[in-house]
Copies of this chain bind each other. A is one copy, B any other.
Amino acid sequence: MKFAYRSIGIIHSPFKTTKGIPIQPAGAEAIKGTIHIYPEYVKGLKDLDGFSHIILLYHFHLNRDSKLIVVPFMDSRPHGVFSTRAPCRPNPIGLSVVKLRKIKGNILEIENVDILDQTPLLDIKPYVPEFDQFPADRIGWLEEVRGMVKDKKSDSRFD
């Protein structure tokens, strides 16, 4: 089955190329960005300003190929793409949780941004600890590289 989605706005960030981006919001503390929501969707932002954190779903727009086996930024061994957060997925949808600082009209000021400049936004959802936090006790291959995420930066391997 095929689905057609369209962007609801554009994410702006200091990251102009795929190199040197923090690989998760956990490593992007204090990095600021903005989201420009297209005017036709602004009504949907009502009450969002009450939330300190929001979930962004977006399209990895500089990703070219989809690969099923990848060597992720945090490891030197190959893994199945669904066991990684690599951008080269069959459906290149990215997910980041960012801090929401302020909403002014159609512009959202956000923080902890690990997203490339000019990224097309697909959806915003409120981040709610009661919905979104789970006591995961096994994190697979990431167990061995734990603690590395805060310092690790992207390179251009998925361009």
Contact in complex: B139, A50 (CB < 8 Å): yes
Contacts A6-B2, A45-B82, A120-B1 given; does A24 touch B131 at CB 8 Å:
yes
Closest residue on chain B to residue A127 by CB atoms: B136
Q: How many of chain A's residues have a CB under 8 angstroms from any CB in B? A: 67
Whether, in the assembled complex, A65 has its beta carbon less than 8 Å from a beta carbon of chain B, the answer is no
Number of copies: 2
**What mask results when residues 131 to 143 of chain A are scored 1 for a CB within 8 Å of chain B, else 0?**
1111011111111
Residues of B within 8 A of A89 (CB): 123
The A contact surface, by secondary structure, is mixed
- 18 A-B residue pairs with Cβ-Cβ distance under 8 Å, sorted by A, are A1-B59, A24-B130, A24-B131, A25-B134, A26-B130, A41-B90, A44-B68, A45-B80, A48-B80, A50-B138, A50-B141, A82-B125, A82-B126, A91-B123, A93-B122, A126-B139, A126-B142, A129-B136
- Docked Cα-Cα span, A68 to B95, in Å, equals 21
